[in-house]
Amino acid sequence: MNSIDDLISGYRRFRAGVYAEQASLYRQLGHGQSPNIMLIACADSRAEPSDIFDAAPGQLFVMRNVANLVPPYQPNGGLHGVSSGLEYAVNILEVEHIVVMGHGGCGGIVASLASEGNPAIGEFVTPWVSLLDEARDKVVASGSVNPHFALELEGIEVSLKNLMTFPFVARRVEQGTLNLHGAWFAIMHGELHWRNATTGRFEVISTT
C-alpha cells in the first residue's frame, strides 16, 4: 500500500470479502469481547500477530509498541499506555495467557544497541528503549557474535520479568489463573520460536 487510495481500496475488499463472510461474527463482537489471550508484540509492519497465529477478530487482545516492551510497574500518575492495556486485559477481560512476542530484524533493538552513549537516537525512542539498557550491556559484555539476535531474546525476558512487577499480574500468576509466555518470530523464514518455560530456551514450533 502506497497511498490512502490503496488503503480505502483495501477496506472495500475487506467489506466484500472477509466482512461479508464473517458478518455474523462482527455483529456478535459489536456487543463485546472476551479474548482469552493477550499478545504483546512489536509495532513492526512485518510481524502481524493475527496473521502469524491465524486469529479471527475477537480472539487476541493485542498491544503493540516499539520492541514489544513492557515497562515495570510505576504508579506515578503518568500516562502509561502499555500498563493501562495490561490492566484492562488482566482485570477486566481476565485473560488467562499473556504472550510477549519479539521478532527478527527489530528496529527497536537496533535503536537500543545504537543508543549506547548516543542519546540523540530519538526524543521518544531513546528513553523507551532504555528499558533494555541492562540487557544490552549484558549482551555486549558477553561478546555475542550476534548481539542483535541475542538482545531480541533478552528483550523478551525483560518484558516477562517486568510483567511480574505488576501486583495484579503477579497475584493471578501465583493463583494459577494467568500464565506468561515468550515467543520470537523469524520473519524471513516464517518460523515461530516458543520459550520453554522450564529451560528458558526458545524452541522452533513444528509446522506439522
Domains of the chain and CATH, by start:
1-31 (no CATH), 33-204 (3.40.1050.10)
- The predicted pLDDT at position 123 comes to 84
- The predicted pLDDT at position 117 comes to 62
Which residues belong to the active site?
A: 42, 44, 46, 103, 106
Task: Check whether 31 is labelled as a binding-site residue.
Answer: no
- The predicted pLDDT at position 93 comes to 98
pLDDT mean for each 10 residues of the chain (208 residues) = 94 94 95 97 97 96 98 91 97 98 96 77 88 96 95 98 98 98 97 96 93
- The predicted pLDDT at position 65 comes to 97
Task: Check whether 80 is labelled as a binding-site residue.
Answer: no
DSSP per position, the chain? --SHHHHHHHHHHHIIIIIHHTHHHHHHHTT----SEEEEEE--TT--HHHHTTPPTTSEEEEEEGGG--PPP--SSS--HHHHHHHIIIIIS--SEEEEEEETT-HHHHHHHHTTT-TTS-TTHHHHHGGGHHHHHHHHHHT-S-HHHHHHHHHHHHHHHHHTTSHHHHHHHHHTS-EEEEEEEETTTTEEEEE-TTT--EEEPP--
